[in-house]
A and B are shown apart, each in its own frame.
Chain A
Amino acid sequence: MDLAMLLQLLDSSVRLATPLLLACLAGLFSERAGIFDIGLEGKILVSAFFSAAVAAFTGSVWIGLLAGIGSSIVFALLHGLASITFRGNQLISGVAINFLASGMTVVLGDSWFQIGGRTPQLEGHARFQNLTLPFAEQVRDVPVLGAIYHDLLSGHSILVYVGFLLVPLTWWVLFRTRFGLRLRAVGENPAAVDTAGISVVRMRYTAVIICGVLCGIAGAYLATGLSAGFVREMSAGRGFIALAALIFSKWRPWYALMACFLFGLLDATGSLFQNIHVAGISVPVQFMQALPYILTVVILAGFVGKAIPPRAGGEPYVKER
């Protein structure tokens, strides 16, 4: 494998890791606040649909992005309503949200565009264009470093950079601000937060809304950045891989970046090379696809360092017992 090919592989890993990363950080905020979210998949899907549909109607990808984020927030609030206000089962609510998204997007898409649940092909300003970072063309011929800068770092859509910048931001918010401390406390010991005079309900709703915003960006990137339009079920399990990455990273932002990049790399390897030969054995492509899930089960099993979720995760908070 030469440098150009390696760069191509890494470049496509970055692209494929971005929606995972955004969704993973979304889950990070929610689960750190004690709200389990297996509905990441549904929120990505609904945002992908609304961002593509609105971008197709208005011709502006930015309005599309806002619509996508908005729809994802609505779904997030539904999850909040079920799991915070009505103290329902958060897992069941997540399952419902996933189904609602996969049904609703096709039903509405079919009714709006009548092309089998897809949206029209997006072009021009209705899509996120790839940015060229400054001096990318000039340094292109510098050996190795120039190629890395031009081929790998430059030439992505703005949402990719947003995704990667969100990692240090998330770390800073969660571990260096008062808000972050409270958010994590709500996920570990809500009663203590309540005693300190902070509203558990408000903290949890805030976390759920942040989760909605990030899933919204992930979905919009999928439909208007990575591809040019919405197709049914286009999230294709990414929400669950993001969930896997979240567990893999043990609910920490920097590890989340590494986990998502690893899963993106697996995805890119699987699509660039149909058959991979390791030590004379040909590895089936289905194995590569299943690898993120297998790795997550191994991590969950606790054989390679134990993944311990936030202590109050999944439990509705009842003020008076």
Chain B
Amino acid sequence: MDKMPRWADIVLIPFINLLLALVVSGLVVLYIGESPWEAMKIMVRGSVGSPYGWGYTLFYATNFIFTGLGVAVAFHAKMFNIGGEGQAALGGLGVAMVCLLIPWPHWSIALLAAVIGAAAFGAAWAAIPAYLQAKRGSHIVITTIMFNFIASALLVYLLVNVFRVPGSMAPETARFAEAARLPNGYDIAPWLGFSRSTPLNVSFLLAIAACVFVWLLIWKTRLGYEIRAYGHSQTGAVYAGINPVRIIMISMLISGGLSGMMAINGVMGEAERLVIDPVQGAGFVGIAVALMGRSHPVGVFLAALLFGMLYQGGAELEFEMPAVSREMLLVIQALVILFTGALDNMVRMPVERLFLSLRKGS
């Protein structure tokens, strides 16, 4: 018998964790000398109070869905992929090469090609750490961290020496062709009130499709079953005839591919060129999102939405409350990771005891 009902595990505990993180963040705001309540109101209003805010919130959420799903798929196989940042940066490279090298006649074909480019480059960047983990037992956390740094150096080198527009000082690629421009929220649904320059674009729908894909993969296919079995008990899975090398490789390739696809949103959908640091920490937010979402696509979607609100609300907060700097976001993000990930047992143990004593009482 379970120690507590399922709803407590998937709703109550993440909620308490989140609440603790917000309370501690509120204390920091209070210490700086601003009202946490006011700050909260500004953030909510700034993120979901207007079509303008929604545009940015959903744009950020799109990034976090992709990186969150990437981390989540790896989590199912008990792999901790910290390399989302580097995989997404390489995904950006893939998108840029696809968009610059071939003159696409229509955005839909370009998008299809960009999906392949981004996923292939992201997956390729995850492939080496995955191979080293599967074949040589090198710790995947350490290798993926190292690959983040290598990716960032590689990208700087390529942007400065290879892709830079001749005559321009800025380390960025040329602008992509107009035909490859993805329709944004205004083009698709002008009646929702998005402004013409909203960053929200068709990649958001792609992100939702990715959620469905991951759900089908993990819970409705044989491969997904094998991934979960391997994550649950490696020896048990091997005994059942599941090949660990294959599971590690496939789950990490999918994870890297999903992280890489994040770049479609930022590089192709918004900037329309590859700039230095196209990921902007979204790879790391993916860790928080996957932890909060309990590695389930629905949870990841909701957590990504929450972090989208935090990012957009944080930008508004910096504007309206100059005493609170934008880095407050990092503090909140850190606290969410800390409470939902590392200090999970701090909440879980008392809650479990509570439910056990309730059950005894009845």
Q: Contact residues of A with B, CB < 8 Å?
A: 38, 78, 81-83, 86-93, 95-100, 102-104, 106-107, 110-111, 117, 232, 237, 240, 243-244, 247, 284, 286-287, 289-290, 293-294, 296-297, 300-302, 309
Contact = CB atoms under 8 A, between A and B. Distances in A.
A240 B343 contact: no
A30 to B, nearest CB: 14
Contacts of B132: 297, 300-301
B324 interface: yes
A300 B145 contact: no
A286 B145 contact: no
Given A92-B337, A247-B142, A300-B132, A103 B328 contact: yes
A103 B338 contact: no
A240 B341 contact: no
Contact of A293 (B149, B291, B330, B345): B149
B346 interface: yes
B323 interface: yes
B284 interface: yes
Contacts of A300: 132, 136, 138-139, 142-143, 146
Given A107-B328, A287-B157, 5 more contacts: A89-B80, A91-B80, A96-B342, A97-B338, A111-B33
16 contacts: A38-B142, A86-B345, A91-B82, A92-B337, A92-B342, A93-B338, A95-B337, A99-B331, A99-B334, A100-B334, A102-B330, A103-B330, A111-B323, A289-B149, A296-B146, A297-B146
A314 to B, nearest CB: 9
A88 B147 CA distance: 25
Interface in B146-169: 146-147, 149-150, 153-154, 156-157, 160-161
B341 A93 contact: yes
A93 B337 CA distance: 8
B360 to A, nearest CB: 22
Contact of B138 (A78, A289, A302): A302
Contacts of A97: 334, 338
A99 B160 CA distance: 29
Q: Which of B143, B284, B349 has the most CB of A within 10 A?
A: B143
Contacts, number: 150
A293 B327 contact: no
Interface SS of chain B: helix
Interface string B32-47: 1100000000000000
A107 B28 contact: yes
Interface string B109-146: 00000000000000000001100100011110111011
Q: Which of B141, B145, B146, B345 has the most CB of A within 10 A?
A: B146
Nearest to A78: B338
A24 to B, nearest CB: 14
Q: Which of B138, B324, B335 has the most CB of A within 10 A?
A: B138
B153 A95 contact: no
A301 B138 contact: yes
Contacts of A102: 327, 330
A88 B349 CA distance: 12
Nearest to B135: A301
A290 B146 CA distance: 9
Contacts of A106: 325, 327, 330
A99 B146 contact: no
Contacts of A38: 141-142, 145
Contacts of B341: 88-89, 92-93, 95-96
A83 B142 CA distance: 18
Contacts of A297: 128-129, 132, 138, 143, 146-147, 150
